[in-house]
Amino acid sequence: MLSGLELVLVGLAAVIGGAVNALAGGGTLITFPMLTALGIPAVAANVTNTVALCPGYLGGTLAQINDLRGQERRLSFLIPAGIAGGIAGGLLLLSTGEQMFRAMVPYLILLAAGLLACQDPVRKWLVRRSGRPGKSNVSEFWTSLPVGLAAVYGGYFGAGLSVIVLAVLGLVMDDTLTRLNALKQLIAFAINVAAALFFVFSGQVVWPVALVMAIGALVGGVIGGKLAGSIQPVVLRRIVVTVGVVIALIYFKY
């Protein structure tokens, strides 16, 4: 059981993580290490982190709901793929022993930091691609396969998931970045909700911590939204990537 001071630290980390998610993404690289630093086992920390940060994705989805109009057919096969992958990733996580997952943590953090670093190049590529004439010869339905695979990663760890999903959508679908981003947001929300609901019944959620984090993440999301015009996401993203690399190196050492 964490002390009052430790719960305050968790809440502050969640506020920062929620703000980072709202501004640039990568909040998990802040919150997850805090949980393990306070002595919560890695698997339980990851499960608790997923459940706690899940409500924060709802705000981003609702903010872009208008850009989902006309994409109902895509949602009919991408959302089920995301839900199935999220549950599969959650099952895979719970099947991984604590010692093995702890050994994988620095590699997962480095992967997440790398994905976050790729976010701007991916967006620039999508912008260039959306300006080219012509349609893809690949059926959009087949996007459900790589989205499902990305969802497995999302259910297992999750940081950087949005970058993978957005890149997959842009590779097959000819559409504006705004509409693809809204689609990505809802898919990521579905993946996280599926994994979180699965984790609720796992017995691994540290509920006092999850509740404090959920409140902190929501507050941080509001703060991040208000700071959106004054902080450059690119700069913040670079800081988070750097922090992620440093944290991974610390995990490697200890």
**Residue-level pLDDT at 55:** 76
- The pTM of the full predicted model, rounded to 2 decimals, is 0.85
Q: Torsion-angle region of residue 26: left (phi > 0), alpha (psi -120 to 50) or beta?
A: left
Q: List the pLDDT tens digit at each of the 254 positions of the chain.
A: 788 899 999 999 999 988 887 777 788 889 999 999 999 999 999 999 999 888 777 766 777 788 888 999 999 999 999 999 999 999 999 999 999 999 999 999 998 889 888 888 887 887 776 666 555 556 788 889 999 999 999 999 888 788 888 888 888 887 888 888 889 889 988 998 999 999 998 999 999 999 999 999 888 888 877 776 677 778 878 888 898 899 899 888 76
Q: Which residue has the tokens 């805090």?
A: 34
DSSP characters for the chain?
A: ---HHHHHHHHHHHHHHHHHHHHTS-THHHHHHHHHHTT--HHHHHHHHHHHHHHHHHHHHHHTGGGGTT-HHHHHHHHHHHHHHHHHHHHHHHHS-HHHHHHHHHHHHHHHHHHHHTHHHHHHHHHHHHTS-S--SS-GGGGHHHHHHHHHHHHHT-TTHHHHHHHHHHHH--S-HHHHHHHHHHHHHHHHHHHHHHHHTTT---HHHHHHHHHHHHHHHHHHHHHTTTS-HHHHHHHHHHHHHHHHHHHHH-
